[in-house]
Amino acid sequence: MGIAPTAHVEAVDFVMLYIIAISVILLLGITATMIYFVFKYNRKKGHQPVDIHGNLWLEVIWIVIPTLLVLSMFYFGYTSFREIREIPANPYTVKVTARMWQFSFEYKNGKKTDTLYVPINTAIDLEMQSMDVNHCLYIPAFRIKEDIIYGKTNHLYFTPKQVGSYDIACAEYCGLNHSAMYTMVKVLHDNDFYKWLERPGVPLTKIQTNN
């Protein structure tokens, strides 16, 4: 398997697969039990129902096991969520402005672009604001998203671990062209990123070619 795009992708995927696996096992188990009971205990002609008395151990089992399963889901989900929300030390801040229907990104030196460029293995802080309605910055490959609320500054943190290009979408319905509100995050090696950052107007492909 390749390197995960960010540090917490594997944790998020594990939680999802864990919950799906438990759900599938319960679905198959309950369905099989129901079918078995339908044939074994179907009512025959002249059958007289018999009172069924409680079973302490059975009641304990069907209370304790589901409780433990739900608590385990909460534990894994909470630890993954805490990892995503943890503020990294000395992050590199990029200001994000959302408007109908595009994202724009501004760097510390004032450079602006409609594509998010970030250096690999660097903690990134997206400082996000909306110019009009509510939006949501969503990076599916990183398993992260955050609402961008008009009149409020929200933050989204991540540390990219693999060079590449990844989709960014708006995940909050924001009007007529919401479905077209897409851009990219491009994770670069440090030397490529800082060369691009310091040379306004020079295409990234030209900078990489000149390396």
User: C-alpha 62: how far from its chain's center?
Assistant: 32
**Would you state the pLDDT for residue 205?**
54
Residue with the two structure tokens 């004032």: 110
Please identify every stretch of the chain with a pLDDT value under 50, giving residue numbers as ranges.
1, 209
**Would you state the pLDDT for residue 1?**
47
Helix (H) or strand (E) segment spanning residue 194: helix 190-198
CA distance 105 to 111: 8
Tell which residue, 204, 119, 198, has the closest CA to residue 161. 119
CA distance 94 to 126: 5
Are 181 and 135 in contact, with CB atoms under 8 Å apart? Answer: yes
**Would you state the pLDDT for residue 85?**
82
Tell which residue, 17, 56, 28, 184, has the closest CA to residue 117. 184
Are 184 and 165 in contact, with CB atoms under 8 Å apart? Answer: yes
Cis amide prior to 101 (ω within 30 degrees): yes
Helical segments of 41-133, H only: 56-85
Q: What is the mean pLDDT of the chain?
A: 87
- pLDDT tens for 57-98 read 888 888 999 999 999 999 999 988 888 888 888 899 999 999
End-to-end, the C-alpha distance of the chain in Å comes to 29
Tell which residue, 123, 104, 101, has the closest CA to residue 112. 104
Bridge partners, residue 106, by sequence = 95, 112
DSSP state of 6: B
Exposure string over 57-66, b if 16+ CB within 10 A, otherwise e: eeeeeeeeee
